[in-house]
């Protein structure tokens, strides 16, 4: 499917180097100026006010990654990752807003018809409609084992089930929700539905009290025969997991990896500045070899994670089949890097770094959330291992075919 001559996921889109540098400068100035002021306000109140959403929307920061045909600014995915790195140096809730709004359209657009684009996709790209990605369930994983179900009666589905850990699930306008046709199993019976936030039969529990990422709302949701128009279904019955995972998960994992790079960069910036200004026994901390080596390790760690993440972004942008596994490699590598870097950055600050008056304290808390976003490390390892063994088996089969010998993978297990 294509829109305005480019792919529905925007991979054929890009802006000029001049325009990109202008956007990079604008984002950097905002993050280092108003963004820092917002960070203080969010931490003090625990809230992200509507005025911040409005400011981000009016600055054009919520429509950077989408193609021009959808009302976006047409950045390529690699270009968007450059801005994502900068946004991630800001407060985690700021990063979460721009990450989600600049990404949710990727799940919707490839499966939307033109009426759905007008009603849901374009308003979402414009930041006028908040769509919350709603997949995870309290008693299940995030794949074909979902149990939230719908039964169809004429032009209406009736939804029953539970979801939790839903980012923006309280303040959203619609939940982009994944369920299955009643009585089905596996991925074939799954559906993707846009469920009105104010539909009847829904109980919304605000579960926003978290260790970090203060201000971002999260929800637990319970649905009991909640009506959803069939016209709000994206794609066909059976396409639910394709909508959830196909065009969204891979680029989102890469984006989370780059957000780890950006946040690690902020931790390193704070640690370097503190090492230069803090004096012990008449010398700055930076002159201590143990501190200098620790920060040198951080710098190399960040650069390596950035390089892998950009490789994954380039592969996804050009449609490479290696992109899904690379996205998991990038996310796995980047979150582990972020853990090491923020731990060392806090250690450089000594005991004072543990106090809320120090910016590194918030960075340290916010970093832990990245280990869960878009799948745990264990999920990433599963994806990588599956791809590794698939490629190895394919290589063995090709070698066997070239040698005109039986494929060992196809041989019976019993030898006798």
Mean pLDDT of 315-331: 96
At 415 the pLDDT is: 31
Residue 270 CA, chain-centre distance (Å), reads 25
Say how far apart CA 124 and CA 105 lie, in whole Å. 7
Mean pLDDT of 373-377: 91
Residue range(s) in the chain whose domain bears CATH number 2.40.110.10: 132-240
Q: What is the CATH number of domain 9-129?
A: 1.10.540.10
Mean pLDDT of 234-240: 96
Residue range(s) in the chain whose domain bears CATH number 1.20.140.10: 248-395
At 406 the pLDDT is: 54
Three-class SS of residue 76? coil
Q: What angle do CA 137, 387, 165 make, to 5 degrees?
A: 15
pLDDT band (50, 70, 90) for residue 11: confident
Say how far apart CA 156 and CA 313 lie, in whole Å. 39
At 185 the pLDDT is: 86
Say if residue 245's pLDDT is above 90. Answer: no
Mean pLDDT of 267-286: 97
Say if residue 390's pLDDT is above 80. Answer: yes
Say if residue 14's pLDDT is above 50. Answer: yes
CB within 8 A of 351, min separation 6: which ones? none
pLDDT band (50, 70, 90) for residue 188: confident
Nearest Cα to Cα of residue 159 among 222, 242, 114: 222
Say how far apart CA 56 and CA 42 lie, in whole Å. 15
Residue range(s) in the chain whose domain bears CATH number 1.10.540.10: 9-129
Sign of the torsion angle spanned by Cα atoms 248, 253, 259, 263 = positive
DSSP state, 139? T
Say if residue 412's pLDDT is above 60. Answer: no
Mean pLDDT of 346-352: 97
At 389 the pLDDT is: 96
pLDDT band (50, 70, 90) for residue 13: confident
Specify the CATH number for 248-395; select among 3.40.640.10, 1.20.140.10, 1.25.40.10, 3.20.20.70: 1.20.140.10
DSSP states of 175-231 as a string?
A: EEEEEEETT--SSTTEEEEEEETT-SSEEEEE----SSSTB--EEEEEEEEEEEEGG
Mean pLDDT of 223-247: 94
pLDDT band (50, 70, 90) for residue 402: confident
Say if residue 30's pLDDT is above 70. Answer: yes
Separation in Å, CA 169 to CA 63, 222, 365: 20, 12, 22
Separation in Å, CA 401 to CA 286, 391, 395, 398: 60, 15, 10, 5
Q: Which CATH superfamily is domain 132-240 in?
A: Butyryl-CoA Dehydrogenase, subunit A, domain 2 (2.40.110.10)
Report, as residue numbers or ranges, the catalytic residues. Answer: 374
Say if residue 116's pLDDT is above 50. Answer: yes
Residue 403 neighbours by CB distance under 10 Å: 8
Percentage of the chain surpassing pLDDT 70? Answer: 95
DSSP states of 341-396 as a string?
A: HHHHHHHHHGGGGGSTTSHHHHHHHHHHHTTTTTS-HHHHHHHHHHHHHHHHHHHH
Mean pLDDT of 100-113: 95
Say if residue 256's pLDDT is above 80. Answer: yes
pLDDT band (50, 70, 90) for residue 405: low
pLDDT band (50, 70, 90) for residue 6: low
Which pTM value belongs to this model?
0.91
Question: What average pLDDT is seen over the chain?
Answer: 93
Is the Cβ–Cβ distance between 312 and 327 less than 8 Å?
yes
pLDDT band (50, 70, 90) for residue 255: very high
Sign of the torsion angle spanned by Cα atoms 58, 38, 164, 162 = negative
């Amino acid at each position: 499917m294509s829109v305005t001559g480019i792919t529905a996921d925007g991979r054929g889109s890009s802006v000029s180097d001049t325009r990109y540098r202008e956007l990079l400068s604008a984002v950097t100035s905002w993050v280092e100026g108003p963004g820092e002021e917002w960070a203080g306000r969010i931490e003090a109140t625990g809230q992200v006010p509507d005025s911040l959403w409005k400011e981000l929307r009016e600055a054009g920061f919520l429509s950077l990654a989408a193609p021009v045909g959808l009302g976006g600014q047409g950045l390529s995915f690699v270009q968007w990752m450059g801005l994502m790195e900068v946004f991630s140096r800001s407060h985690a809730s700021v990063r979460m807003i721009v990450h989600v709004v600049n990404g949710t359209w990727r799940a919707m657009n490839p499966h939307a018809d033109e009426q759905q684009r007008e009603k849901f996709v374009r308003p979402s790209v414009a930041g006028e409609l908040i769509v919350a990605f709603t997949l995870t369930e309290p008693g299940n994983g995030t794949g074909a084992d979902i149990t939230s179900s719908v039964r169809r009666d004429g032009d209406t589905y009736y939804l029953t089930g539970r979801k939790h850990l839903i980012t923006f699930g309280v303040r959203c306008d619609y939940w982009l929700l994944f369920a299955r046709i009643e009585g089905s199993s596996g991925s074939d019976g799954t559906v993707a539905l846009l469920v009105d936030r104010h539909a009847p039969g829904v109980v919304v529990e605000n579960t926003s009290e978290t260790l970090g990422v203060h201000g971002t709302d999260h929800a637990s949701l319970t649905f009991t025969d909640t009506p959803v128009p069939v016209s709000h279904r994206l794609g066909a019955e059976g396409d639910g997991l394709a909508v959830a995972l196909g065009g969204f998960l891979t680029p989102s994992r890469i984006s989370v990896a780059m957000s780890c790079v950006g946040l690690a960069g902020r931790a390193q910036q704070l640690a370097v500045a503190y090492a230069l200004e803090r004096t012990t026994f008449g010398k700055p901390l930076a002159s201590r070899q143990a501190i200098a080596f620790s920060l040198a390790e951080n710098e190399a760690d960040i650069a390596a994670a950035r390089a892998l993440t950009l490789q994954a972004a380039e592969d996804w942008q050009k449609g490479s089949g290696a992109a899904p596994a690379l996205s998991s490699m990038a996310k796995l590598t980047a979150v582990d890097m972020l853990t090491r870097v923020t731990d060392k950055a806090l250690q450089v600050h000594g005991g004072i770094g543990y106090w809320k008056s120090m910016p590194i304290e918030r960075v340290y808390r916010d970093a832990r959330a990245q280990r869960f976003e878009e799948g745990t490390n264990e999920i990433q390892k599963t994806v990588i291992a599956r791809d590794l063994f698939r490629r190895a088996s394919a290589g063995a089969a090709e070698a066997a075919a070239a040698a005109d010998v039986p494929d060992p993978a196809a041989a019976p297990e019993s030898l006798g």
